[in-house]
Structure 1
Amino acid sequence: MAIYHARRGAQSYGHDIGILLMECWNPFPPGDVGNAATYGYPVLYETVAGVTIEALVERGEASAVDAMVEAARKLETEGCKAITSDCGYMLMYQDVVAAAVKVPVMMSSLLQLRFIASLLPPGGEIGVVCAHKARLEAGLLDMAWPERNRTVHVAGMEDQPAFRRAILDEEGVLDTDLVEAETVAVTRAMVEANPDIRAILIECSNLPPYSAAVQAATGLPVFDFITMIDMVRASTARPRFSGGY
């Protein structure tokens, strides 16, 4: 049998990805970053007191930095091989969290923008679907990709009633059929208005449950939090292959 040694400070073992959660009152259906059934590997959640949707998305404030760093270090101590978050607007914490731990940090789906651009032909544009358009365009795009050399179009979900009630207003009830229809309609309108879009990035962590529907409706590659988390997780937990071809 193998011999195991206790890791000082750890209370549990075997987690691949640590996920920092804001304080919110949203249902998380399968496919959402906040639902553990989304993943084919173990994840560990840690809620960060003082970090809220209102502060991050509505006001654009990165509050409770010390609490965020403490939570990230706790996930690292528990053995998580990489750390992410449940809101693309947590990009504001990317540098401070990455500096505080020794494992890979991916605080926002927006980190994929450069990678997506590298896949596209010359002139190919990127469409981003986000929770709140004004907040994303007010500095976060520049933070994610300061040397941006591609056109990026942004469509927000803030005026979609089912999404707004469930996510931004935190009423506690989510109708996935309605939100899926809203997400598809918002994305389709963006693509129809900008026919040079060649890929879609779903920024909001609550929208990956609808990425397949967006892909089917547009015929375009669709990236989101889950594509990012799955890729980074694969880099830290590669399976061992045996035998020949």
Structure 2
Amino acid sequence: MKYQVRPGVESYGHAIGILLIDCSTPFVPGDVGNASTYDYPVLYRTVPDVTLERLIEQGDESLVQNVIDTALELQRMGVRAITSDCGYMVRYQHKVAAALDTPVILSSLLQLPMIERTLGPQRKVGIICANARRLTPELLAIAGLSDPSRAVIRGLEDQPQFRGPILDETGTLDQEAVEAEVVAVAREMVATHPEVGAILLECSNLPPYAAAVQAVTGRLVFDFTTLIDSFQHASRRRRFAGIY
């Protein structure tokens, strides 16, 4: 096989490109921002000026060009798909996807249409997110959820162990304490709404707690890593070998 140099490319072989928001948070194993989360190479780039305040609290549409420019840089590096480390980046999904040739999966919320269609009409999708007040019907519609009444949403904005390091950027994260809060929220959700048939963790900081959520709820649990892994597998198909 012959290979050609790609001008301006610093390294090769990255499966997934990840856009990071401009924040200061400890990225523990399992977090989208921790490279050891993956069994394949990923490539990170921080998007200038996309802060938690401007993205989640303000929903600043003027930032979309910054996202596009940084995504184009990852595309030039040869990644096979581009994601982000915040579910609220779904706000920019359509415009960024339109500007790139590489598949764009900016938010864990993009799994909502699939999950919704796998559940019977009497069942609902549970969503645990960083800020329930900011997970608006508009964002759910962008993600593709056809019926917002089928979503049961719980936010973590009032959970102190989560809020400190994730939303207020205090710099120190107690993983066991955060897990206890997330598990308590999940347990309350399914106790109050037993019709919840599957759970989606919106926030990119939540995959480390997915196994614990599943253990207490018994539900299928989706998050950023289930989305990213599916696109990585689609980009690196293997030949099957076995017994016939």
1:92 positional shift: 0.8
Q: Are 1:157 and 2:190 matched, yes or no?
A: no
- Tell me the distance in 1 between the aligned counterparts of 2:194 and 2:136: 21
Give the AA of the match of 2:211.
Answer: A
Identity of aligned residues (%): 54
The answer to whether the 8 Å contact 1:184/1:214 transfers is yes
The answer to whether the 8 Å contact 1:51/1:63 transfers is no
1:151 positional shift: 1.1
The answer to whether the 8 Å contact 2:116/2:145 transfers is no
1:196 positional shift: 0.5
Q: Are 1:53 and 2:56 matched, yes or no?
A: no
Q: Are 1:105 and 2:104 matched, yes or no?
A: yes
Residue 208 of structure 1: aligned partner:
207
Mean alpha-carbon deviation: is it higher for 81-90 or for 120-129?
A: 120-129
- Tell me the distance in 2 between the aligned counterparts of 1:201 and 1:146: 12
- Tell me the distance in 1 between the aligned counterparts of 2:173 and 2:93: 29
Runs of 5+ in structure 2 lacking a partner?
none
Give the AA of the match of 1:70.
Answer: D
1:191 positional shift: 1.1
Give the AA of the match of 2:34.
Answer: N
1:241 positional shift: 3.2
In 2 relative to 1, CA 137–149 (structure 1 residues): closer, same or farther, beyond 3 Å? closer
Structure 1 vs Structure 2 CA RMSD: 1.4
Q: Are 1:37 and 2:36 matched, yes or no?
A: yes
The answer to whether the 8 Å contact 2:137/2:148 transfers is no
Give the AA of the match of 1:89.
Answer: Y
Residue 142 of structure 1: aligned partner:
141
- Structure 1 residues 171-214: Cα deviation after superposition (integer angstroms, max 9, x where no partner): 11111001000001011111111110000000000001000000
The answer to whether the 8 Å contact 1:130/1:202 transfers is yes
- Structure 1 residues 16-71: Cα deviation after superposition (integer angstroms, max 9, x where no partner): 00000000000000100000000000000010000011111222223422221111
1:71-220 equivalences under 5 Å are 71-137=70-136, 139-145=138-144, 147-148=146-147, 151-220=150-219
Q: Secondary structure at the match of 1:49?
A: coil
The answer to whether the 8 Å contact 1:55/1:63 transfers is no
The answer to whether the 8 Å contact 2:112/2:145 transfers is no
Mean alpha-carbon deviation: is it higher for 129-138 or for 207-216?
A: 129-138
Q: Secondary structure at the match of 2:83?
A: strand
The answer to whether the 8 Å contact 1:184/1:213 transfers is yes
The answer to whether the 8 Å contact 1:125/1:199 transfers is yes
- Tell me the distance in 2 between the aligned counterparts of 1:142 and 1:77: 30
- Structure 1 residues 109-133: Cα deviation after superposition (integer angstroms, max 9, x where no partner): 1110110112212311110000000
TM-score, structure 2 normalization: 0.96
